[in-house]
Amino acid sequence: MLAINFSGFSLEAGTDEAGRGCLSGPVVAAAVILPKNFSHPFLNDSKQLSEKRREELKPIIEQNALAFAVSFVWQQEVDEINVLQASITGMHRAIEQLKITPEFIIVDGNKFRDYKEIPHKTIVKGDSKYLSIAAASVLAKTYRDAYMEKIHQELPMYNWQKNKGYPTKEHRNAIREFGATIHHRKTFKLLPEQLKLEL
């Protein structure tokens, strides 16, 4: 059973991101403040949920949250600042957009930068321990997936509707055949052979 609160503050925001390990598309972050009485039997780390279940949970989270926000850090910026900084920047931007200022922030993972004067705690595997982080993980993943499905329509050969930009064998074969696109992250190792030196 996931816990509702870490800090004891009633306005505690959970934040998480999706898409760090992808070869294409943005890093998407979300922040969510849930009411203290919120519970849902299916809410868990988005990676442990089916796509159908995440889509069911998305409107439930949005309707019940005291505040929620989602931010996109585009692939060009990921290349400029690196993917860890993009993740933290995305979480900061999502928190910035919340219509209620949180009193405390709980963050999935072990890396974060101070956000204004608000105290925070990083929690490894936080998305499987706290409801607000799990809710943020669901929103980040569903918004990112929807975007990847949209760009799939213009470039179906990469099959982003299925792989969502992750480095599957199929995705890498498509990069090999058709090349990289404006949606690909240029600083990522798009193909394994990029490691091989031609002597």
Percent of the chain with pLDDT over 70: 97
* Inside any domain, residue 74: yes
* Inside any domain, residue 169: yes
Q: What CATH number is associated with residue 162?
A: 3.30.420.10
Q: Is the pLDDT of residue 67 over 90?
A: yes
* Inside any domain, residue 4: no
* Inside any domain, residue 121: yes
* Inside any domain, residue 23: yes
Alpha helices in 32-182 (DSSP H): 51-64, 75-81, 83-97, 131-154, 160-163, 169-178
Residue type, 59: P
**Domain containing 26: what range?**
12-188
* Inside any domain, residue 120: yes
Q: Which helix (H) or strand (E) holds 105?
A: strand 104-108
* Inside any domain, residue 137: yes
The tally of domains found in the chain comes to 1
Using 50, 70 and 90 to split pLDDT, how confident is the model at 114?
very high
Q: Is the pLDDT of residue 195 over 60?
A: no
Give the global pTM.
Answer: 0.94
pLDDT tens-place string over residues 126-184: 999 999 999 999 999 999 999 999 999 999 999 999 999 999 999 999 999 999 999 99
Residue 167 contacts residue 21 (beta carbons within 8 Å): yes
Residues 131 and 114: their CA atoms lie apart, in Å, by 22
* Inside any domain, residue 193: no
pLDDT recorded at residue 194: 61
Over residues 15-41, mean pLDDT: 96
pLDDT tens-place string over residues 73-87: 999 999 999 999 999
Residue 197's φ and ψ, nearest 5 degrees, are -90, 135
